[in-house]
Protein backbone atom coordinates (compact mmCIF):
# COMPACT_ATOMS: atom_id res chain seq x y z
CA UNK A 1 0.00 0.00 0.00
CA UNK A 2 2.68 2.51 1.03
CA UNK A 3 4.49 2.11 -2.29
CA UNK A 4 1.50 3.70 -4.01
CA UNK A 5 1.50 6.85 -1.85
CA UNK A 6 4.15 8.80 -3.85
CA UNK A 7 2.48 7.83 -7.12
CA UNK A 8 -0.88 8.97 -5.76
CA UNK A 9 0.68 12.35 -4.90
CA UNK A 10 2.16 12.50 -8.41
CA UNK A 11 -1.31 11.85 -9.83
CA UNK A 12 -2.60 14.75 -7.74
CA UNK A 13 0.06 16.88 -9.44
CA UNK A 14 -1.23 15.67 -12.81
CA UNK A 15 -4.83 16.31 -11.78
CA UNK A 16 -3.91 19.89 -10.81
CA UNK A 17 -2.26 20.22 -14.22
CA UNK A 18 -5.46 19.03 -15.93
CA UNK A 19 -7.59 21.55 -14.03
CA UNK A 20 -5.04 24.29 -14.73
CA UNK A 21 -5.20 23.42 -18.45
CA UNK A 22 -8.99 23.83 -18.44
CA UNK A 23 -8.71 27.22 -16.71
CA UNK A 24 -5.92 28.31 -19.05
CA UNK A 25 -7.98 27.36 -22.11
CA UNK A 26 -10.92 29.32 -20.65
CA UNK A 27 -8.53 32.27 -20.23
CA UNK A 28 -8.92 32.16 -16.44
CA UNK A 29 -5.17 32.49 -16.02
CA UNK A 30 -5.27 33.40 -12.34
CA UNK A 31 -6.94 30.08 -11.45
CA UNK A 32 -4.62 28.25 -13.84
CA UNK A 33 -1.68 29.70 -11.90
CA UNK A 34 -3.12 28.59 -8.56
CA UNK A 35 -3.50 25.00 -9.75
CA UNK A 36 -0.04 24.95 -11.32
CA UNK A 37 1.42 26.13 -8.01
CA UNK A 38 -0.50 23.40 -6.19
CA UNK A 39 0.83 20.90 -8.72
CA UNK A 40 4.41 22.08 -8.11
CA UNK A 41 3.90 21.52 -4.37
CA UNK A 42 2.61 17.99 -5.00
CA UNK A 43 5.62 17.49 -7.26
CA UNK A 44 7.84 18.36 -4.31
CA UNK A 45 5.99 16.10 -1.88
CA UNK A 46 5.90 12.99 -4.10
CA UNK A 47 9.69 12.82 -4.22
CA UNK A 48 9.90 13.52 -0.51
CA UNK A 49 7.33 10.81 0.29
CA UNK A 50 9.16 8.31 -1.94
CA UNK A 51 12.40 8.90 -0.08
CA UNK A 52 10.87 8.94 3.40
CA UNK A 53 8.96 5.72 2.75
CA UNK A 54 11.89 4.24 0.81
CA UNK A 55 9.65 3.25 -2.07
CA UNK A 56 11.40 4.92 -4.99
CA UNK A 57 10.57 3.30 -8.28
CA UNK A 58 11.20 3.57 -11.99
CA UNK A 59 7.43 3.82 -12.45
CA UNK A 60 7.40 6.82 -10.09
CA UNK A 61 10.16 8.55 -12.05
CA UNK A 62 8.34 8.10 -15.34
CA UNK A 63 4.98 9.12 -13.86
CA UNK A 64 6.59 12.22 -12.38
CA UNK A 65 7.90 13.34 -15.76
CA UNK A 66 4.54 12.74 -17.41
CA UNK A 67 2.75 14.76 -14.72
CA UNK A 68 5.36 17.53 -15.05
CA UNK A 69 4.79 17.57 -18.78
CA UNK A 70 1.19 18.63 -18.23
CA UNK A 71 1.55 20.88 -15.17
CA UNK A 72 4.85 22.53 -16.03
CA UNK A 73 4.95 21.99 -19.78
CA UNK A 74 1.50 22.18 -21.33
CA UNK A 75 -0.06 24.81 -19.04
CA UNK A 76 2.72 27.43 -19.45
CA UNK A 77 2.42 26.92 -23.22
CA UNK A 78 -1.34 27.52 -23.16
CA UNK A 79 -0.88 30.54 -20.85
CA UNK A 80 1.70 32.04 -23.21
CA UNK A 81 -0.69 31.31 -26.10
CA UNK A 82 -3.40 33.29 -24.32
CA UNK A 83 -1.07 36.16 -23.47
CA UNK A 84 0.17 36.36 -27.06
CA UNK A 85 -3.43 36.21 -28.20
CA UNK A 86 -4.21 39.23 -26.02
CA UNK A 87 -1.11 41.03 -27.24
CA UNK A 88 -1.40 40.39 -30.97
CA UNK A 89 -3.79 42.30 -33.10
CA UNK A 90 -5.41 41.11 -36.29
CA UNK A 91 -5.04 37.75 -37.96
CA UNK A 92 -5.25 35.84 -41.19
CA UNK A 93 -8.61 35.18 -42.73
CA UNK A 94 -8.80 31.59 -43.85
CA UNK A 95 -11.44 29.38 -45.42
CA UNK A 96 -11.04 25.96 -43.86
CA UNK A 97 -13.36 23.22 -45.15
CA UNK A 98 -15.88 25.85 -46.19
CA UNK A 99 -15.80 27.60 -42.81
CA UNK A 100 -14.55 31.12 -42.60
CA UNK A 101 -12.22 31.72 -39.70
CA UNK A 102 -9.65 34.23 -38.54
CA UNK A 103 -6.39 32.63 -37.50
CA UNK A 104 -3.65 34.29 -35.51
CA UNK A 105 -0.36 32.58 -35.97
CA UNK A 106 1.71 34.47 -33.42
CA UNK A 107 0.03 32.96 -30.32
CA UNK A 108 0.99 29.48 -31.54
CA UNK A 109 4.60 30.38 -30.82
CA UNK A 110 3.66 30.13 -27.13
CA UNK A 111 3.71 26.36 -27.50
CA UNK A 112 7.46 26.51 -28.09
CA UNK A 113 7.57 26.42 -24.27
CA UNK A 114 5.63 23.13 -24.27
CA UNK A 115 7.91 21.62 -26.90
CA UNK A 116 11.04 22.77 -25.06
CA UNK A 117 9.67 21.36 -21.79
CA UNK A 118 8.99 17.98 -23.42
CA UNK A 119 12.50 17.90 -24.82
CA UNK A 120 13.98 18.81 -21.46
CA UNK A 121 11.98 16.20 -19.55
CA UNK A 122 12.86 13.46 -22.03
CA UNK A 123 16.49 14.50 -21.97
CA UNK A 124 16.43 14.56 -18.19
CA UNK A 125 15.18 10.97 -18.01
CA UNK A 126 18.19 9.68 -19.91
CA UNK A 127 20.77 11.89 -18.17
CA UNK A 128 22.27 10.38 -15.03
CA UNK A 129 24.34 13.44 -14.14
CA UNK A 130 21.64 15.87 -12.98
CA UNK A 131 21.45 14.99 -9.30
CA UNK A 132 22.86 17.73 -7.09
CA UNK A 133 22.63 20.39 -9.79
CA UNK A 134 20.54 21.01 -12.88
CA UNK A 135 21.59 21.62 -16.42
CA UNK A 136 19.22 24.34 -17.54
CA UNK A 137 16.14 25.67 -15.83
CA UNK A 138 13.86 23.01 -14.24
CA UNK A 139 10.37 22.88 -15.77
CA UNK A 140 8.55 23.82 -12.50
CA UNK A 141 10.71 26.95 -12.12
CA UNK A 142 10.01 27.83 -15.74
CA UNK A 143 6.26 27.31 -15.13
CA UNK A 144 6.52 29.65 -12.15
CA UNK A 145 8.18 32.26 -14.37
CA UNK A 146 5.51 32.08 -17.09
CA UNK A 147 2.56 31.88 -14.67
CA UNK A 148 3.82 34.93 -12.77
CA UNK A 149 3.09 37.09 -15.83
CA UNK A 150 -0.74 36.91 -15.63
CA UNK A 151 -0.52 37.27 -11.83
CA UNK A 152 1.45 40.51 -12.24
CA UNK A 153 -1.23 41.71 -14.65
CA UNK A 154 -4.03 40.82 -12.23
CA UNK A 155 -2.56 42.03 -8.96
CA UNK A 156 0.03 44.68 -9.81
CA UNK A 157 -1.33 46.16 -12.96
CA UNK A 158 0.11 49.53 -13.90
CA UNK A 159 0.09 51.10 -17.33
CA UNK A 160 3.81 50.53 -17.75
CA UNK A 161 3.68 46.86 -16.69
CA UNK A 162 0.60 46.30 -18.84
CA UNK A 163 2.35 47.80 -21.86
CA UNK A 164 5.51 45.79 -21.24
CA UNK A 165 3.96 42.39 -20.47
CA UNK A 166 1.35 42.56 -23.19
CA UNK A 167 3.83 43.54 -25.84
CA UNK A 168 3.96 40.72 -28.36
CA UNK A 169 7.70 41.08 -28.90
CA UNK A 170 8.41 40.97 -25.18
CA UNK A 171 6.26 37.83 -24.86
CA UNK A 172 7.94 36.27 -27.86
CA UNK A 173 11.32 37.12 -26.33
CA UNK A 174 10.31 35.53 -23.00
CA UNK A 175 9.12 32.44 -24.88
CA UNK A 176 12.41 32.03 -26.71
CA UNK A 177 14.51 32.75 -23.60
CA UNK A 178 12.40 30.26 -21.63
CA UNK A 179 12.84 27.57 -24.30
CA UNK A 180 16.56 28.24 -24.35
CA UNK A 181 16.97 28.19 -20.57
CA UNK A 182 15.06 24.90 -20.28
CA UNK A 183 17.58 23.15 -22.48
CA UNK A 184 20.70 25.27 -22.01
CA UNK A 185 23.89 23.61 -20.90
CA UNK A 186 24.12 25.91 -17.88
CA UNK A 187 24.73 24.25 -14.50
CA UNK A 188 22.28 25.61 -11.92
CA UNK A 189 22.27 24.66 -8.25
CA UNK A 190 19.36 22.67 -6.82
CA UNK A 191 17.83 23.95 -3.59
CA UNK A 192 18.85 20.81 -1.78
CA UNK A 193 20.74 20.65 1.47
CA UNK A 194 22.95 17.76 2.52
CA UNK A 195 23.72 19.67 5.73
CA UNK A 196 22.58 22.98 7.20
CA UNK A 197 26.00 24.63 7.56
CA UNK A 198 26.09 28.21 6.29
CA UNK A 199 29.59 27.77 4.95
CA UNK A 200 28.62 24.87 2.68
CA UNK A 201 25.36 26.44 1.56
CA UNK A 202 26.13 30.16 1.54
CA UNK A 203 24.89 30.72 -2.01
CA UNK A 204 21.63 28.87 -1.34
CA UNK A 205 20.95 30.77 1.89
CA UNK A 206 21.73 34.10 0.25
CA UNK A 207 19.48 33.22 -2.64
CA UNK A 208 16.61 32.26 -0.32
CA UNK A 209 17.02 35.44 1.70
CA UNK A 210 17.15 37.62 -1.41
CA UNK A 211 14.10 35.81 -2.83
CA UNK A 212 12.12 36.40 0.34
CA UNK A 213 13.02 40.09 0.42
CA UNK A 214 12.17 40.45 -3.27
CA UNK A 215 8.83 38.68 -2.83
CA UNK A 216 7.90 40.88 0.13
CA UNK A 217 8.77 44.07 -1.70
CA UNK A 218 7.78 43.25 -5.28
CA UNK A 219 5.33 40.35 -4.85
CA UNK A 220 4.72 38.55 -8.17
CA UNK A 221 6.90 40.99 -10.04
CA UNK A 222 9.76 39.47 -8.04
CA UNK A 223 9.47 36.06 -9.74
CA UNK A 224 11.16 36.94 -13.07
CA UNK A 225 13.85 38.81 -11.11
CA UNK A 226 14.35 35.80 -8.80
CA UNK A 227 14.75 33.46 -11.77
CA UNK A 228 17.34 35.83 -13.25
CA UNK A 229 19.06 36.01 -9.86
CA UNK A 230 19.01 32.23 -9.64
CA UNK A 231 20.84 31.91 -12.95
CA UNK A 232 23.37 34.62 -12.10
CA UNK A 233 24.07 33.19 -8.62
CA UNK A 234 24.43 29.68 -10.05
CA UNK A 235 26.99 30.92 -12.55
CA UNK A 236 28.88 32.81 -9.83
CA UNK A 237 28.71 29.78 -7.55
CA UNK A 238 30.20 27.63 -10.29
CA UNK A 239 32.94 30.22 -10.81
CA UNK A 240 33.81 30.34 -7.11
CA UNK A 241 33.90 26.53 -6.95
CA UNK A 242 36.22 26.47 -9.94
Partner 1 sequence: MKLYVHSILASFSVLCASLCGCPEDDYVPPVTYEVQQNQLVFVDGDRFNYAVGDTLWLNVQVPQRVIDEITGQSYDIFEITGATEARISLKLEKESSFTKPFLVNFSQEDLVLEAGVFQIPEFETTQLALDVNYQDDAYRLRIGFLLKEAGVYQLSGFYGNDWQFGFYDTDFGKLPQEYVFVTTTVRGAANGALRFTVVE
List interacting residues with partner 1 (CB under 8 A). 3, 37, 40-41, 43-44, 46-48, 50-51, 55-61, 64-65, 68, 124-125, 128, 130-132, 134, 138, 140-141, 143-144, 190-192, 208, 211-212, 215-216, 219-220, 222-223, 226, 230
Tell the smallest beta-carbon distance from residue 80 to partner 1 (Å): 17
Q: Please identify, using beta-carbon distances, which residue of 212 and 232 lies nearer to partner 1.
A: 212
Alpha helices in the chain (DSSP H): 5-25, 29-52, 58-68, 75-87, 112-125, 139-155, 159-165, 168-183, 202-218, 222-241
DSSP per residue over 14-31, as a string?
Answer: HHHHHHHHHHHHTT-HHH
Tell the smallest beta-carbon distance from residue 219 to partner 1 (Å): 7
Tell the smallest beta-carbon distance from residue 222 to partner 1 (Å): 8
Tell the smallest beta-carbon distance from residue 149 to partner 1 (Å): 14
**Cα 224–Cα 42–Cα 34 angle in degrees, nearest 5:** 50
Q: Please identify, using beta-carbon distances, which residue of 86 and 231 lies nearer to partner 1.
A: 231
Provide the Cα torsion 164, 118, 10, 3; round to 10°: -160
Amino acid sequence: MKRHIPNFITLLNLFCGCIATVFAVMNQLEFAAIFVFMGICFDFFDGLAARLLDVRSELGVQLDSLADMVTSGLVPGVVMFQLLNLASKGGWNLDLFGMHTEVQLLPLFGFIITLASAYRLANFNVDENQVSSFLGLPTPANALLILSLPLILFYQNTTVLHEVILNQWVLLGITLISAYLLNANIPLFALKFSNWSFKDNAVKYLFLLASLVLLITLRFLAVPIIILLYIVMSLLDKKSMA
